[in-house]
A and B are shown apart, each in its own frame.
Chain A
C-alpha cells in the first residue's frame, strides 16, 4: 500500500460533477502537484482530503488506513495539515498564538487542567512553544512573533500559514496555491522552502499550483486535471507535453 492514495473519488454538487472519479497515489517523500485550469476541481480535492466535503463516492487511504469517514478535526492528528488558497489565519490573534493553534492536535491537557493552569499544562505549553520556535527558525519568521495577523502583509501571511501547518508536525502537507499573490522573490523563497520541507523535515508535499515555473522547479510528479477528470499524470515535462493538457490550456 502506498503512503497516500485517492481511489476513484467523486464529488457532486447538484448536477455538477466537481470531481469525477479521480485516482492517484503519492509516495512517501514526494512532491506531488495538481495543476489544471480554474474550476478544474483542484481545491475541491483538497477539501475532500481534509474532509471538509464528503465525497459522493470513492475512498481515501492514508498510511494504509481508510480515512474517508474520519471527522475533519481528526485529520490533523493523523498527520495531514493544510493551507488555504485565500488565507484562513486567525486574524485577531498574534502570530505566536496562530502557530500554537497549529499545535492543537498534540494538546494533551484536559479542560479542568487548563482552567487551573496546572504545572502539567505549563510543561506542555513550553514543549509546544519549543516546537513552534523551531518552525519560526525554519521559516525565518522571528520578526513577527507578537504581531497581530491583521496588520501583516500578504506575503508574510502566506508563509505563516505554511508555518502553522508545519507546527502540527504533519507527515503530509497540503499546500493550496502557495505562490498565489506572491511576487517573484517571494515565490523563489517559497520554492526553496517547499524543497526544504521535503528534504530537511521529511514531509511529503501535495500541492495545487498555477505557477508553472515553480511547479517545474519543485515537483517530482504532476497531475493535470480538467472538469474534475484526470488528464495526465507523470513528470512535469511529460504532463506538459501531453496533448490533452495542451488542449485544455490552449482550448484547441
Chain B
C-alpha cells in the first residue's frame, strides 16, 4: 500500500498521482509505439480498431459515465464524422481541414440533439437518441447527391499534405493512437476542472447542481457536443480504416456495441473505455478461433487420450459446426452483456481495481469493499 504525503495542491490536480504511474504508463506507451514493428499486420489492424472503439468509448464515458445521460445514438455521430470526411475528401479538402471540420460538425449536431434532450431523462432520453439515430440513418440513405445513398461511398487513402497514410500502415496506426491519447487527456482535463465537476454534479443531483450555480441546460448541451465531436473524430478514422462506408454500417446495433464498450469496461473511469474496447474488438477473433482452432485442438487432445480416430474426427466436426452456426455471435454478445451485468457490474476496470487492491492489502482484503449498494427505495421516475 502506498501512502502519498501531500504537501501541495498540485498533487491533487496532477493526472498521474505519483511517480509509479510515470513508469507504468510510460512503459505502456512505449510498448504501444513499438507494437507495429513487432507484430503482424492482422494484429496491428485489430489494435487500430481497439483505438477507434476506445475513442468512442471515451466520448460515451463523458456523456453517459460522467454526465449520466444515456445515449443509444452514437453510431449516428460516428456516421456523421465518417460521411463528412468522405464527402470533403471527395471535394479535395485536405485532411488537416476535414479532420477538425468533422469534429466541429458532429459537435454541432450533438449540441442540437442535446437541446431536446434537456428535459428528458432515463428511458425517454434513450428513445430520443434512438429516434435521432434512425433519422440520421435514413437521411444518409436518401440524400444521394452527397452520400450516394445505400450504394455507399468509397473513401480514398488518407493523405496528409501529400504524404499518404495507407490504412494498414504504421503512420495510420500512430494517428489513431495519437487521437486516442488526445481524447483521453481531454477527458481527464475536463474531469479535474469545473466543467467536469459540473457534469458529475448533474449525474448525481440535478436539483443540488442547479442551486450550486450550474446551468443544467448549458452543461448538458456541452456534454453532448463534446461527446459527439470526439465520436466524429473516431468516425473519420473509421471511414479511412474501412475504406468504404454505407448507411447500414451505422445501425442501432453499432450504438449498442458502443454502450457495451463502457458497460464491459466499467462506466466510471476512462480506463474502462479502453478495457471495454479491447474486449469488444477481440470477440471476433475469438469466435474465429472457436470455429477453426478449438475443434482441431479438442480432437487431438481426445485422440491422445485414446479416443478412436473416427470418433475424434466426429467430435471435431460437431464442434466446428456449432462454432460456425449462423448467429452464434449474437448469442455470445447477449451472453457477455448479461454475464457482465449480473456478475461484474463494475466491468473489467472494476475487476482490475479489485485485483490491485487484493495485492495491496494482502492478506486483509475484504470482498465487501466493492459491494454494490442496491436501492429498492428510490424511484427513478421522480428525478
Contact = CB atoms under 8 A, between A and B. Distances in A.
Interface of A: 50, 52, 71-77, 81-82, 84, 88-93, 96-97, 100-105, 107, 109, 111, 113-117, 121-122, 124-126, 128-130, 150, 164, 168
B276 to A, nearest CB: 19
Given A82-B211, A101-B209, 19 more contacts: A52-B207, A72-B211, A73-B213, A75-B211, A75-B213, A76-B211, A88-B208, A92-B204, A93-B200, A101-B198, A102-B212, A114-B190, A115-B195, A117-B189, A121-B193, A122-B13, A125-B13, A126-B9, A150-B373
A114 B211 contact: no
Contacts of A97: 197, 200
Chain A to chain B: the 6 pairs with minimum beta-carbon distance, closest first: A105-B213, A76-B213, A88-B208, A90-B204, A114-B193, A107-B194
Contact of A92 (B12, B200, B211, B226): B200
B128 interface: no
B196 interface: yes
Interface in B1-56: 9-10, 12-13
B222 A111 contact: yes
A144 to B, nearest CB: 14
Given A97-B200, A130-B9, A89 B189 contact: no
Could you tell me the dominant secondary structure of chain A's interface residues? helix
Given A52-B207, A107-B194, A77 B212 contact: no
A81 B116 CA distance: 29
B212 A168 contact: yes
A81 B216 CA distance: 17
B205 to A, nearest CB: 5
A101 B219 CA distance: 13
A42 B122 CA distance: 31
Contact of B210 (A73, A121, A125, A129): A73
- Using C-beta atoms within 8 Å of the partner chain, give the interface range for chain B: 20 to 34
Interface string B155-197: 0000000000000000000000000000000100110111111
B200 A90 contact: yes
Nearest to A90: B204
A73 B216 contact: yes
Given A111-B195, A114-B196, A76 B212 contact: yes
Contact of B193 (A73, A125, A164): A125
B208 A89 contact: yes
Contacts of B211: 50, 52, 72, 75-76, 81-82
B203 interface: yes
- Among B9, B212, B226: residue with most chain A CB under 10 A: B212
B66 to A, nearest CB: 10
Interface string B212-256: 111110000010001000000000000000000000000000000
A130 B196 CA distance: 19
B133 interface: no
Count chain B CB atoms within 10 A of each CB in A92, A101, A111 and give the residue with the most.
A101
A88 B222 CA distance: 23
Contacts of A128: 194
A129 B9 contact: yes
A84 B208 contact: yes
Contact of B197 (A71, A100, A121): A100
Contact of B192 (A77, A101, A117): A117
B72 interface: no
B59 interface: no
A125 B9 CA distance: 9
A104 B197 contact: yes
Contacts of B13: 122, 125-126
B201 interface: yes
A82 B215 CA distance: 16
Contacts, number: 112
Contacts of A117: 189, 192-193
Contacts of A101: 197-198, 200-201, 209, 212, 214
A183 to B, nearest CB: 23
Given A104-B212, A115-B186, A126-B10, A90 B194 contact: no
Contacts of B222: 111
Contacts of B197: 93, 97, 100-101, 104
Contacts of B195: 111, 114-115
Nearest to A151: B373
Which among B12, B198, B207, B208 has the greatest number of chain A C-beta atoms within 10 A? B208
B9 A115 contact: no
Contacts of A71: 215
B207 A84 contact: yes
A86 to B, nearest CB: 10
B189 A116 contact: yes
A168 B214 CA distance: 12
A175 to B, nearest CB: 13
Most chain A beta-carbon neighbours within 10 Å: one of B189, B197, B205: B197
Contacts of A114: 189-190, 193-196
A131 B207 CA distance: 23
Contacts of B216: 73
Contacts of A129: 9, 12
A20 B331 CA distance: 61
A97 B208 CA distance: 14
B198 to A, nearest CB: 6
A92 B194 contact: no
A96 B192 CA distance: 11
A84 B209 CA distance: 12
B207 A88 contact: yes
Contacts of A116: 186, 189
